[in-house]
Structure 1
Amino acid sequence: MSNLLKVAFLGLLLPLMAHATEYVEGEHYEVVAERATKKPEVTEYFSFYCPACNAFEPIIANVKPHLDSDVAFKKSHVDFVGPRDPKVQTMLPQALAAADALPEKDKLISAIFNHIHGKRAKINEEADMKDIFIAQGVDEQTFDKVYSSFSVRTAAAKMARDQKNLQEKRALTGVPTFIVNGKYKLRLHEAKIREPEDIAALINYLAKKQ
């Protein structure tokens, strides 16, 4: 077979190969809502007290660079892992929302994980959380202002609503769970998708899916 014929033959195969690697509902992802968000996004539902979530943080750090530029990565804290104390479970999503509003966001999230899983320390009250923020360069006045702000409390309340909505649909039974565009749940474990590039590819695919 001449080189020209080989190129033509491979050209015919390319569409078939692309089709063969297309993601399949029920295998790579599942639909958990009828409507999608207006803008492309992926939300990780997690808990700072979840060991698997803590272990997944380095993978997430490598997923983000491979996401399309218009795909926003978000975190949403759940209240069914860790201490049963309602005060603590209310404080954690509020701390996440406060971190989201600050330039030290990534450092703060890592520090909270490390406080619980690395140092094996407890977070019993707001003063404990404040100490974590201050250790990462956030001054006390900024913490007080941001942590108690209306926007942060609103964001934390939204996390609780989103969790309840997904639990009612039986779409959130454990963490970490990833939801794309509020509509598609990743089936990473079932599909044996582990590499950051492969996770990002699935997210990018679903972010564009109608």
Structure 2
Amino acid sequence: MMFKVIITAGVLLLTAMTANPANATDFKEGLHYDTYPSSKLTGKPTFIEYLSFFCPACENLNTFQDEIYRTVPKGVIKRRVSVDIISKTSPDGFLALSKVMAVSDELYPEIGNSLVDLIFVAIHKEKVTITPSLVEKLIKVVDEKYDADFWALYNNPKTNEVAKFTLGNQRLMSSRGMLSTVPRIIINGRHVVKFDGLDKTNFFKELHELTKYLVNKDYGNDEHNN
């Protein structure tokens, strides 16, 4: 299977889709999003979730992953990044989690959120200690169920490179003040979504509209309006 280069992303989510979303002209910096001009704009539109497997709010976010990914307009690269700002495993453990997230996104159409769900359950429900060997055991469970080449991709040298890159990327975002906490969604490498500014009764639709607005604002076209 071809392994695509993965580009290296929080929430108190409540309910779903009713009411009218904010119009693009209604979105305001400081209310709906914060912009960090010193952060370089990504070469292509991106929607990146930054989360920690050890964060309870991130566990909550994870239960809405399908809905969140459906909010991302066509043509916008969507990825998740496992961060190491909550120190509850070894550096090798964090690298394993970063690799899991990279491959899970690559295989999302085939396996969904199955492995990520298992890891959240292991940490928050079963209270186990995360080690590379435990992560590998869970990978094999998913691999046997879906026959999706997860194990092969997990051990691909390029996956290791991607995982190290994303860990470095989240530290860079932290140094710029963009990752003071998790979960976070950062759009186009520059805009941090302010969840409290979005309508909780229509969260996903409004997140979709905000993403379109920021993509069109940064890239100057309307090709990502779906």
TM range (shorter): 0.7 to 0.9
Which consecutive aligned stretches of 4+ in structure 1 deviate over 6 angstroms post-superposition? none
Per-residue Cα deviation, 1:122-164 (whole angstroms, up to 9, x for no partner): 222x221121112223489x55532232211111111122112
Instruction: Read off the aligned partner of 1:22 and give its amino acid letter.
Output: D
Q: Where is the helix percentage greater, Structure 1 or Structure 2?
A: 1
Equivalent residue letter for 2:156? S
- Measured against aligned partners, the alpha-carbon deviations of 1:177-204 in whole angstroms (never above 9, x if no partner) come to 1100111111112x15432212222122
**Alignment pair present for 1:50 and 2:58:** no
How far does residue 62 in structure 1 lie from its aligned partner after superposition? 1.4
1:125-144 maps to which residues of 2 (within 5 A)? 126-138=132-144, 142=149
Q: For the Cα contact (< 8 Å) 2:37–2:190, is it kept in 1?
A: yes
Equivalence for 1:60: 65
Q: Does 1:69 align with 2:74?
A: yes
Partners in 1 of 2:158 and 2:194 — Cα distance? 32
Aligned position for 1:153 = 160
TM-score with structure 2 length normalisation? 0.74
Matched length: 191
Superposition TM-score, scaled by structure 1 size: 0.79
Deviates more, 1:177-186 or 1:80-89: 80-89
| 1:129-208 to 2 correspondences below 5 Å | 129-138=135-144, 142=149, 145-189=152-196, 191-194=197-200, 195-208=203-216
For 1:27-42, list aligned pairs within 5 A: 27-34=31-38, 35-42=40-47
5+ residue gaps, structure 2 = 1-21, 219-226
Distance 1:18 1:127 in 2: 48
Give the unaligned 5+ runs of structure 1.
Answer: 1-16
Retained in 2: the 8 A contact 1:77–1:93? yes
CA RMSD of superposed structures (Å): 2.5
